[in-house]
Chains A and B, each alone.
Chain A
């Protein structure tokens, strides 16, 4: 994605950077203002960090017993939705959960019922377990508490880049996590 970024466009139209922002976080820039480039990188980094923190705090699942004895469940699964249903579940699951790059998720898919599969996978990037439920139309991600929110962002990016550019990441209630 190409981005033209001005540091302070109203006061200086000529101080800008032209950046090439890649899916893997690499940013290369040309332009007239190094400060503008730094500003863009800082913004991207801050937004990414905020999203990751939100994944970990809002979505990570865990049961909790309060002092009054009440047990509650906090967190919620995230859902990656596919613009086009997965045509061949076996091939898709084999590719995503083989442990190989780019997904680096290792797990054995189990058929729950019909076209719904469950994979308790190991994210080899961070060596933590994450549970997935996959159907042709969606992939649910159950992030355990204490796991890295980066797992979700990487999965979303890789699916978008390598599988289907129309994938979306949604909350359990259907709200889109990343705005286009």
Chain B
């Protein structure tokens, strides 16, 4: 969803929605940690959406319970949202089509009213509950159409799980610019700064994963540069 034309799909942008937090940790009213993958907010409709992505079919009961404990004051006092952009809010669970039933079941079993969105070939479909704000709700009914064939892929091109070739795609052009600038020594850290947003604040696990891949690509490139 965050890969829309200017970060968000046009329908949401037209409601004034903008990204206000990416993987932003804060505590709910019970002082329990929550980390929505993305928060978007609109001052026009005074509404915020807190997205929790699920790659697989399992929802974590404890995680959903913590999300359910969020109240509006948590957003203004701990997630630093302005009061006029979160008069209403929804925690929203997003999953993929093949796990639609299991994800919905996880939400149902907890008795929660979180909207559940499912990514399908045609777009993003609302399969459970609804949004507190009517105009936002209308965006997803019956379906937010998205042409995935043309969806942008380059906002954050690599992460810890990306393949080596995906790293190479980012690294090699950067190496060429450094070589053209006359650099005789290029360290993995410089490469990481260039290809990973907010590298300085990345956690250790992620940093190690990424650094290992960068070194693997650089090593391969240095040993195979003369091959076709």
Contact = CB atoms under 8 A, between A and B. Distances in A.
Contacts, number: 94
B16 to A, nearest CB: 12
A129 B153 CA distance: 16
B173 A122 contact: yes
B177 A140 contact: no
Given A76-B6, A77-B5, A127-B177, A71 B21 contact: yes
A145 B181 CA distance: 18
A118 B6 contact: no
Contacts of A64: 198
B196 to A, nearest CB: 9
A100 interface: no
A177 interface: no
B155 interface: yes
Contacts of B152: 77, 133, 140, 142
Nearest to A142: B154
Interface stretch (B22-30, B86-94, B108-116, B215-223): B22-30
B145 interface: no
B55 interface: no
A69 interface: yes
Nearest to B22: A71
A84 interface: no
Interface range, B side: 35 or more
Interface string A108-143: 101011111010111000011101010100101010
A119 to B, nearest CB: 9
A46 B79 CA distance: 42
B149 A114 contact: yes
B8 to A, nearest CB: 10
Interface string A69-111: 1111100110100000000000000000000000000111010
B159 interface: no
Contacts of A162: none
Contacts of B22: 63, 71-73
Which of A64, A70, A128, A173 has the most chain B CB atoms closer than 10 A to its own CB? Answer: A70
A79 B154 CA distance: 13
B221 to A, nearest CB: 13
Given A65-B201, A110-B169, A120-B170, A127 B181 contact: yes
A129 B6 contact: no
Given A63-B22, A174-B10, 19 more contacts: A62-B197, A63-B197, A65-B198, A71-B24, A72-B20, A72-B21, A77-B152, A77-B154, A116-B150, A118-B154, A120-B157, A120-B170, A122-B180, A127-B177, A129-B177, A131-B154, A140-B152, A172-B5, A173-B5
